[in-house]
Amino acid sequence: MFLAALIPTANCDGSPDATLVHLLLQKDVNAFEQLYDRHSRPIYSLVLRILQQAGTAEEVVQDVFLQLWRNAAQYDISRGPFVPWLFTLARNRALDTLRLKSERQRRRENQTEELPPVASTPQYEQQLDEKRRAEKVRTVMATLSPQQKKAIELAYFEGLSHSEIAAALKEPLGTVKSWIRNGLLRLKEELQATR
């Protein structure tokens, strides 16, 4: 019923079109032009209603008429008039295009979901600053007394408590706390001076 509304009633008998199709089989360009002039607008209207995009509808109409030019022998007059056959051809091509577009869209959405997380680029300046700071800490640590250095290393690299350090070094707890506190103050002063 939808197709019937778009098909020109003057061509429903099929005889003028059948003659043109017969000439088209012989690659008669004039016959092709007449068929195009007669049917391109109603075909475009049908395809546009299906696809809802003018540019894509124009491409489909071109494809339909190109297929007609290349494969006019596919039309069998014994199976019915030419115009309904042409509209069916256009409708099928439009639906194929619509399915293909929705398939591509679904694939794009699936690919978007599967994209790996964006890797952040290394921050070279921050790495350079950290490297310089580590070198400065090593330099300052080398200037500390061996007892201060050992007490700080045990506290921060071994994770020992002040009491455990005092026991390990066989020194009074107050002395160990003093070494650590004075050593850290010196590290802090040196690091602040280099900023």
pLDDT in tens, 5-58: 333 433 444 467 778 888 888 888 998 899 899 999 999 999 999 888 899 999
- Please give the domain boundaries of the chain with CATH numbers for all domains: 2-114 (1.10.1740.10), 125-193 (1.10.10.10)
Looking at residue 114, its pLDDT comes to: 58
Q: What is the DSSP letter of 80?
A: S
The CA-atom distances, in angstroms, between 153 and each of 55, 77, 143 are 74, 97, 14
The 10 Å CB-count burial string (b at 16+, else e) for 138-155 is: eebbeebeeebbbbbebb
Q: Confidence band (pLDDT; 50, 70, 90) for 63?
A: very high
Rounded to two decimals, what is the model's pTM?
0.48
pLDDT tens digit sequence for 118-161: 655 567 777 887 888 888 888 888 888 888 888 888 887 778 88
Q: What is the pLDDT of residue 41?
A: 94
Residues 6+ apart with CB under 8 A from 75: 21, 82, 85
